[in-house]
Amino acid sequence: MEEEEQLGCKFSQTSLTDLTMFENDFFDLIVSNIVLVDIQDYQKAFLEINRVLKKDGRFIWSNSHPTFGRLGSMDLRLPFDASRNEENLYKIIDRYFDSGGTLVSWGKVQPLWQFDRTLSEYSHALKEAGFAIREIIEPKPDLELIRKNPRFLAFDADRYPHFIIFDCIKLE
Ligand SMILES: C[S@@+](CC[C@H](N)C(=O)[O-])C[C@H]1O[C@@H](n2cnc3c(N)ncnc32)[C@H](O)[C@@H]1O
């Protein structure tokens, strides 16, 4: 933390869809962790991020996976009364092309909008905003992590990606 170890970091708070507090070509690198899924006007966010990045600047961002992390996907266990989690767990994906927002509640947190989009919608919006995708990463937990968090990670996290990481570069 900056308070404990002074590195000269500055902190600002604003919406990704309105970065007017920053001038053009300002940052070398922008990193975002699972935020675009919360943002309705993601095209505007990409345009703003592109504007404040320097040419060849990098935008590295993670999100819920467009296929496996979407709300429309469903876990199915067969037989339904299987006593072990790992028995015949299937992921059902349907209505992949139905993009849009859903109001969701996570525990005690106030309900939040989650916006699901297809991979090609994200790819298209990135291109329109002036980015090229350098790499797409679908993280997979290693065996050591699964061993440390078996309830959370075993049986599905190593079978399909819950999250996706885009490594993008500003072209012009
Ligand atoms: C799933 S949480 C991720 C939080 C954090 N990045 C992390 O990894 O734990 C999504 C975050 O996006 C933020 N958010 C929602 N709309 C936003 C916007 N328009 N601009 C910036 N952040 C936004 C929410 O406040 C929330 O903290």
Give per-residue pLDDT as tens, 57-109.
Answer: 999 999 999 998 888 788 777 777 766 655 667 888 989 999 999 998 878 88
Task: Report the mean per-residue pLDDT for the chain.
Answer: 90
pLDDT value of residue 155: 63
Residues near ligand 1 with C-beta < 6 Å?
A: 15-17, 33-35, 38-39
Cα 79 to ligand 1 centroid, rounded to whole Å: 37
CA of 35 to the centre of ligand 1 (A): 4
Q: Note whether residue 10 is domain-resident.
A: no
101/113 Cα distance (integer angstroms): 6
Mutate to test the pocket of ligand 1, among 38, 65, 165 (most ligand atoms within 8 A of CB): 38
Q: Residue 171 — pLDDT band, cuts 50, 70, 90?
A: very high
Q: Which residue has the tokens 């995708």?
A: 133
pLDDT over 90 (residue 22):
yes
Contacts of 122 (CB under 8 A, 6+ apart): 36, 42, 63, 66, 166
Q: Is 8 contained in some domain?
A: no
The residue whose CA has the least distance to atom 20 of ligand 1 is 15
Decide if 144 is inside a domain: yes
124 found inside a domain: yes
CB of 25 within 8 A of CB of 32? Answer: no
Range of the domain at 37: 27-170
Give the residue with greater pLDDT, 88 vs 34.
34
The torsion angles phi and psi of 164, rounded to 5 degrees, stand at -140, 145
Domain membership of residue 96 (yes or no) is yes
Q: Domain containing 43 — which CATH number?
A: 3.40.50.150
Number of domains within the chain: 1
Would 148 be classed as within a structural domain? yes
| Domain annotation covers residue 22 | no
